[in-house]
């Protein structure tokens, strides 16, 4: 669908009820003072409250410089080092406290105290220096969920090198593209790791990326997974590889003086997951980003030093950067890191870990929640975990899935924050502060302190606040966590995010408006409900609907674990909805289920949106970060070419679906 054609996006879903945060949560929360919103309305100085959470080498002179929009600067004149903020400064008070608890897939566990982390980050920083990495070099990390990943990130930060982490599940091609785009000549990889008990040869991907003609890797540092089952690699020949262990052996006990980075110096690049188009290298600054990650970790995630916090995402995505590594460690908490998948060795794995470490705060995604629902709540039974706080991110969460999360994972006794944000935004932008607002399934809620969202019509006129009408979600005022630019491509930065709704001739920052690419409604209660990506909007009998609402209506049906709705072209009606459905385990597809799906859509949305076909499939096509790729389904429905499917997690899914559609459509 064409994103320029979003006119008349409608919100249809009936309103949900509210849930109060439990008093025992409110009593202990970091953010209980409603004045916080007012304090941050004092733009830009309100945001200095987040910067005050950090330790600065040189304090900033000016909170915000908007003189060259959209190239905004934050905490101008300040300098700091991110590794000092995440490690060194905690030593005095909590050097023996666990910074990271790492759980290997097969059950090995490693507790890394702040003192250990300090030592390992310094030693790795010395290794990077030894192989010639200098300040401002871009170092590409292609590492799975092992301690080497956060250690290497922090080691880069220590010497002022810019890390670019590529999710380990990405192929050699995707890695090569990112190496080339970032002009990066240093790669950090590992010999291998485990997935469902199987040893994956990860170096093979590095080999292939290095051999790709366009890449120019001069040094490839290779970690070793270190375990009893697997012998380390032997390197042969004159390839660019250096074994990290060999250099580390010479750097035992090294101290590397942290480099004071200007607040505006880049800390890292993060390529967007690539649900659409060529991946963009979002460049994040040191001061503003770290301040924003720390501030939102404190107020939205409610992290305290005494907590055991577990974000079950991968560090290879922005969520892991901001909310496994930088935010939690800047606040000096204990962060859990799990190497494996939720179903290995069995479907209770996560709950067993949560019980064992007595995890207080748990973070996951709607796609994972739908998976847990599909498996059934019996896999949680008998595990004694007790979460105070739950979060979700990544896609709109259907009220059904929210309710399941609340009932079965939260035991009707935890708060849930549904956090809306993007790789580009560095941290949460729309989500409730959990002690201050009631929860509402399916709604992200209120803007974070200091954030000014709005909804625009396609022609750029602003939709009245709290009108309940849908529109283009935009952000009207800068914030410290926002990306600085698209790496090496300022024009693309302007084109992608600003041109559509800004007066690009103006040098007044107030005339520049950030386009998110999502559609949303702003309810009378002041809550935002994200309807989905505007490129997923569908036009049914002249009504423009976001996928969120249709899919939420389908998810109401008990038998259904997960659904995706896409538009199929129809000569008479223009477009008709096709519903792809994954059933809960143990349920059979039947005409009765089909009827229930249709009835639910008619009830919740309206008869005009009646699905044409309800197709039972075993899996939906997803990106490597777990998001549904509706474009692929749309192509299947319309019998078109699949287009670019390189970001699919399981490339065999479209063919499976085609086959299943033929037999049951």
Enter the DSSP assignment of 510.
G
- Of 273, 286, 333, 552, which lies in the binding site for ligand ATP, with binding defined by CB under 6 A? 273
CB of 422 to ligand ATP, least distance (A): 4
Does 547 sit near ligand ATP (CB under 6 A)?
no
| Part of the chain binding ligand ATP (CB under 6 A), chosen from 109-117, 166-174, 189-197, 392-400 | 392-400
**What is the secondary structure of 39-108 as a DSSP string?**
HHHSTTGGGHHHHTTS--SB--SEEEE-SSTTS-EEEET-EE-HHHHHTGGGHHHHTTSEEEEEE-TTS-
434-463 mask for ligand ATP (x: CB under 6 A)?
A: ----------x-------------------
Q: Is 621 in the site for ligand ATP (CB under 6 A)?
A: no
Q: Of 575, 517, 511, which is closest to residue 543 (Cα–Cα)?
A: 575
Residues 509-528 that bind ligand ATP (CB under 6 A): 516-518
CA nearest to 613, candidates 586, 576, 645: 576
Span 583-612, contacts to ligand ATP by CB under 6 A: none
Q: Are 309 and 105 in contact (CB under 8 A)?
A: no
Give the residue, chosen from 224, 335, 398, 422, that forms a contact with ligand ATP under the rule CB under 6 A: 422
Residue with Cβ nearer ligand ATP (200 or 486): 486
Strands 73-76 and 574-583: unpaired
Which residue is associated with the tokens 């909310």?
323
* Region near ligand ATP per CB under 6 A, out of 260-268, 419-427, 475-483, 585-593: 419-427
Q: Which one of 104, 274, 281, 471 is in contact with ligand ATP (CB under 6 A)?
A: 274
Question: How many whole angstroms separate alpha carbon 355 and alpha carbon 448?
Answer: 31
Answer positive or negative: Cα dihedral of 162, 294, 152, 209.
negative
Sign of CA dihedral 21, 23, 24, 25: positive
Q: Which is nearer to ligand ATP, 52 or 644 (CB)?
A: 644
Task: Name the one range near ligand ATP by CB under 6 A: 285-293, 322-330, 414-422, 562-570.
Answer: 414-422
Q: Does 189 bind ligand ATP (CB under 6 A)?
A: no
Asked if 328 is part of the footprint of ligand ATP (rule: CB under 6 A), the reply reads: no
Distance (Å, rounded) from C-alpha 615 to C-alpha 56? 57
Cα separation of the two ends of the chain? 23
Looking at beta carbons only, is 4 or 572 nearer to ligand ATP?
Answer: 4
Binding flag, residue 393, ligand ATP (CB under 6 A): yes
Residue 272 interacting with ligand ATP (CB under 6 A): yes
Pairwise CA distance, residues 446 & 182, whole Å: 36
Contacts with ligand ATP by CB under 6 A: the residue count is 22
- In this structure, are residues 353 and 379 in contact, taking their beta carbons and an 8 Å threshold? no
Provide the token pair at 501.
């709704």
Query: Can you tell me which of 115, 276, 308, 660 binds ligand ATP, judged by CB under 6 A?
Result: 276
Residues that bind ligand ATP (CB under 6 A): 272-276, 393-396, 418-420, 422-423, 444, 516-518, 530, 533, 625, 627
């Amino acid at each position: 669908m064409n994103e320029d054609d979003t006119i008349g996006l409608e919100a249809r879903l009936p309103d949900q009820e509210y849930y109060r945060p439990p008093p025992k949560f409110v009593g202990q929360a970091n953010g209980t003072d409603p004045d916080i919103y007012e304090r941050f309305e004092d733009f830009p100085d309100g945001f200095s409250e987040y910067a005050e959470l950090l330790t600065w080498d040189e304090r900033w002179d000016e909170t915000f410089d908007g003189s060259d929009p959209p190239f905004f600067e934050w905490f101008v004149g300040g300098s700091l080092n991110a590794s000092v903020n995440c490690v060194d400064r905690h030593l005095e008070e909590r050097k023996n406290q666990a910074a990271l608890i790492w759980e290997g897939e097969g059950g090995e566990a490693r507790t890394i105290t702040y003192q250990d982390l300090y030592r390992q980050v310094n030693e790795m920083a010395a290794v990077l220096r030894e192989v010639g990495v200098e300040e401002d070099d871009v170092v590409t990390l292609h590492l799975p969920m092992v301690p080497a990943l956060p250690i290497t990130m922090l080691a880069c930060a220590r010497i002022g090198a810019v890390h670019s982490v590529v999710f380990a599940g990405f192929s050699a091609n995707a890695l090569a593209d990112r190496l080339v785009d970032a002009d990066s000549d240093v790669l950090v990889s590992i010999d291998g790791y485990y997935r469902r008990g199987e040893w994956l040869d990860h170096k093979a991907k590095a080999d292939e990326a290095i051999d790709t003609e366009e890449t120019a890797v001069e040094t490839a540092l290779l970690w070793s997974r270190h375990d009893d089952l697997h012998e380390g690699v032997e390197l042969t020949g004159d390839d660019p590889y250096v074994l990290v262990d060999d250099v580390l052996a010479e750097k035992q006990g090294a101290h590397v003086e942290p480099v004071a980075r200007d607040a505006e110096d880049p800390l890292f690049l993060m390529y967007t997951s690539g649900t659409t188009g060529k991946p963009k290298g979002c460049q994040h600054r040191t001061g503003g980003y770290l301040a924003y990650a720390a501030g939102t970790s404190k107020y939205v995630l409610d992290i305290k030093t005494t907590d055991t916090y577990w974000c079950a995402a991968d560090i290879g995505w922005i969520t892991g950067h901001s909310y496994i590594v930088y935010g939690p460690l800047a606040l000096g908490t204990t962060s859990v890191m799990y190497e494996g998948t939720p179903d290995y060795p069995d479907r209770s794995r996560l709950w067993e870990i949560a019980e064992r470490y007595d995890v207080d705060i748990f973070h996951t995604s709607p796609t994972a929640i739908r998976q847990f629902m599909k498996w059934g709540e019996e896999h949680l039974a008998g595990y004694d975990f007790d979460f105070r706080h739950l979060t979700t991110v990544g896609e709109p969460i259907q009220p059904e899935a929210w309710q399941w999360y609340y009932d079965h994972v939260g035991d009707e006794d935890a708060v849930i924050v549904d956090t809306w944000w993007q790789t580009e935004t560095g941290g949460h932008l729309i989500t409730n502060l959990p002690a201050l607002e009631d929860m509402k399934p399916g709604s992200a809620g209120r803007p974070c302190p200091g954030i000014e969202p709005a909804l625009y019509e396609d022609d750029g006129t602003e939709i009245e606040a709290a009108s309940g009408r849908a529109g283009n979600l935009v952000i009207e005022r800068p914030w410290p966590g926002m990306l600085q630019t698209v790496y090496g491509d300022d024009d693309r930065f302007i084109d992608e995010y600003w041109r559509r709704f800004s007066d690009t001739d103006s040098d007044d920052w107030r005339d520049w408006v950030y386009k998110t690419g999502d559609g949303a409604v702003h309810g009378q209660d002041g809550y935002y409900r994200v309807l989905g990506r505007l490129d997923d909007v569908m036009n049914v009998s002249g009504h423009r609907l976001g996928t969120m609402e249709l899919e939420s209506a389908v998810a109401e049906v008990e038998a259904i674990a997960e659904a995706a709705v896409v538009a199929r072209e129809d000569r008479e009606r223009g477009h008709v909805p096709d519903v792809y459905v994954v059933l809960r385990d143990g349920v059979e597809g039947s005409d009765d289920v089909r009827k229930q799906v249709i009835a639910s859509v008619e009830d919740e949305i309206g008869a005009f949106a009646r699905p044409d076909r309800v197709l039972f499939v075993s899996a939906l096509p997803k990106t490597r970060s777990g998001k549904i790729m509706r474009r692929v389904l749309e192509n299947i429905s319309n019998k078109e070419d699949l287009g670019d499917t390189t970001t699919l997690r399981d490339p065999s899914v479209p063919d499976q679906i085609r086959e299943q559609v033929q037999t049951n459509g």
